């Protein structure tokens, strides 16, 4: 229950964060990009798949010809 409560709190915080920026949620051709400094706090994002880890090991030999 404690974990569930924490999750709700976090979700509410995320929604509050979005509302504070006042972005429009309807899709439109000329959508906007706005800086939200609160996103700077998100570090070391993990991915569910192992794709990023796999890609980190790849040697790229790029020529762009």
Partner 1 sequence: MNIPKYDLLTNTDSTLFRFESIGSNGEISKGIAYTVTKDETLYNLGFGDLIIDPIQNRYIIDDLAVSHNGDRNTVLATVAKSAYTFSEIYPERNIFIKGSTKARTRLYRRAISLNLEELSETFHIFGAMEDENGDVFDIPFDSNGDFYGFIIKRK
Q: 34-53: which residues touch partner 1 (CB under 8 A)?
A: 34-37, 39-40, 42, 44-49, 51-52
User: What phi-psi label fits residue 44: left (phi over 0), alpha (psi between -120 and 50 degrees) or beta?
Assistant: left
Is position 29 an interface residue for partner 1 (rule: CB under 8 A)? yes
Could you tell me the two tokens for 60? 């790229």
Is position 32 an interface residue for partner 1 (rule: CB under 8 A)? yes
Helix, strand, or coil here: 49? Answer: coil
CA 13 → CA 7, 9, 26, distances in Å? Answer: 10, 6, 21
Is position 31 an interface residue for partner 1 (rule: CB under 8 A)? yes
Query: Where does this chain bind partner 1 (CB under 8 A)?
Result: 3, 6-7, 10-11, 14, 18, 21, 23-29, 31-37, 39-40, 42, 44-49, 51-52, 55-65
């Amino acid at each position: 229950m404690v974990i569930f409560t924490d999750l709700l709190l976090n979700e509410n915080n995320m929604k509050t964060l979005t509302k504070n920026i006042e972005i429009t949620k309807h899709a439109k051709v000329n959508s906007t990009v706005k800086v939200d400094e609160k996103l700077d706090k998100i570090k070391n994002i993990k991915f569910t798949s192992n794709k990023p880890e796999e890609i980190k090991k790849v040697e790229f030999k790029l020529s762009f010809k």
